[in-house]
Amino acid sequence: MINVTKTYLPDFDQYVSYLKKIWDNGILTNNGPLARELEKGLKEYLGVEYLSFCGNGTIVLQMALKLLDEPGEIITTPFSYVATTNVVLWENCQPVFVDIDPKTYCINSELIEAAITERTRAILATHVYGNACDVEAIEKIAKKHNLIVIYDGAHAFGANFNDRSLLSYGDFATCSFHATKLFHTVEGGAIVTNNSKWDEKLHLMRAFGHRGDDYYFVGINGKNSEMHAAMGLCNLPLVSQLIAARKAVCDLYTELLDWNHLQAPEWVIGLERNYAYYPVVFESEAKMLAVRDVLNQNDIVPRRYFYPSLNKLPFLNATESCPVSESISPRVVCLPLHAELPHEDVRRIAALINQNL
């Protein structure tokens, strides 16, 4: 079976050597030495000052929204994983969907201002597939209207824009370290901010909002364990190697696929890609489903990602129309991609797709 992804597992003995440290000191969680070491390593790798290592890529979005002064409307993208919308609803805010750019598949910054009302509190945009949102335009709009910018950077780890980590943009940028991601801690996530006060608050918030006997505000359990941090410490030094191996797979797909009948996002100028995903958009949903069937019959499992367009979620009564997202969502799949995917498998997948277009 060739799945859309395969979790990278580091050297077993190295992981066990970290476990040995945990067994020796008896500290399993609550901001232990490995979690602190990973946090430091992540800050160095990303070149950011403030970062909090947390339980997953969803809780960190909730924590960012929790820092808003009051709930309200959140301008967001319809083309993302459902978590991006769920957190808005979970935090009793109202998602306001703004369509995506037909080239980058990230939120269309030119449509944002028209969606701002006096109830708008923040812009929550996703760096889709590790592509960069229009960070400069979004920052200008946010400054003008006094809005907070939160980037869902679940896909953005290892991607740089204009020589800075993509995660360094915005008031907050979150990341997922789920086992399906190019850098993972089994389950995990992080939140980056540019503000020391927010960083302090986020560290406190992920630990129930209290320090010892001093209780400051409503917090949550957003922290992560030493076992998860150990996985991160094993994987972090391998990130550039993993990205290079993924690039080779992506380059081969790009060379082999029939672009007369397929479309892909345009990666923005100034982006140093992380090769986190390999999305392809078919001419029609019927064509995509037919090709997916053929791949499935050959034990190859691409993933519909993202589908549906989030403004069409059945539990929402969203009235916004997002024609670009609604057109791409039913036609897109992500092809199998991981650092260890044999190139002969890539050739076979590309041939099967081309034969059935």
Ligand X SMILES: Cc1ncc(COP(=O)(O)O)c(C=O)c1O
Query: What's the half-sphere exposure (Cβ side, CA atoms, 13 Å) at 195?
Result: 12
Angle CA 285–58–106, to nearest 5 = 45
Q: How many residues bind ligand X (CB under 6 A)?
A: 14
In the bound state with ligand X, the residue whose beta carbon lies nearer, of 57 and 170, is 57
Residues numbered 46-65 forming contacts with ligand X, rule: CB under 6 A: 56-58
Q: Could you give the CA distance from residue 283 to residue 263 in angstroms, rounded to a whole number?
A: 8
Q: Which residues pair with 3 in a beta bridge?
A: 301
From the list 39-47, 78-86, 275-283, 296-304, the region that binds ligand X by CB under 6 A is 78-86
In the bound state with ligand X, the residue whose beta carbon lies nearer, of 160 and 224, is 224
Q: How far is CA 162 from CA 20, 128, 159, in A?
A: 41, 17, 10
In the bound state with ligand X, the residue whose beta carbon lies nearer, of 78 and 257, is 78
Q: Could you tell me whether strands 164-165 and 160-161 are parallel, antiparallel, or unpaired per DSSP bridges? A: antiparallel
Contacts of residue 22, Cβ cutoff 8 Å, sequence gap at least 6: 28, 32, 34, 226, 227, 230
In the complex, the smallest distance separating the C-beta of residue 80 from ligand X, rounded to whole angstroms, is 5
**274 contacts ligand X (rule: CB under 6 A):** no
**192 contacts ligand X (rule: CB under 6 A):** no
| C-beta separation of 183 from 8 below 8 A | no
Can you tell me which of 5, 62, 77, 84 binds ligand X, judged by CB under 6 A? 84
In the bound state with ligand X, the residue whose beta carbon lies nearer, of 231 and 257, is 231
In the complex, the smallest distance separating the C-beta of residue 27 from ligand X, rounded to whole angstroms, is 24
**225 contacts ligand X (rule: CB under 6 A):** no
Can you tell me which of 18, 53, 81, 169 binds ligand X, judged by CB under 6 A? 81
| Closest by Cα among 169, 282, 182, 293 to 232 | 182
Query: What's the half-sphere exposure (Cβ side, CA atoms, 13 Å) at 306?
Result: 25
In the complex, the smallest distance separating the C-beta of residue 58 from ligand X, rounded to whole angstroms, is 4
Q: Could you give the CA distance from residue 127 to residue 33 in angstroms, rounded to a whole number?
A: 31
Residues numbered 118-177 forming contacts with ligand X, rule: CB under 6 A: 126, 152, 154-155, 176
In the complex, the smallest distance separating the C-beta of residue 32 from ligand X, rounded to whole angstroms, is 20
Which residues are at the interface with ligand X (CB under 6 A)? 56-58, 80-81, 83-84, 126, 152, 154-155, 176, 178, 189
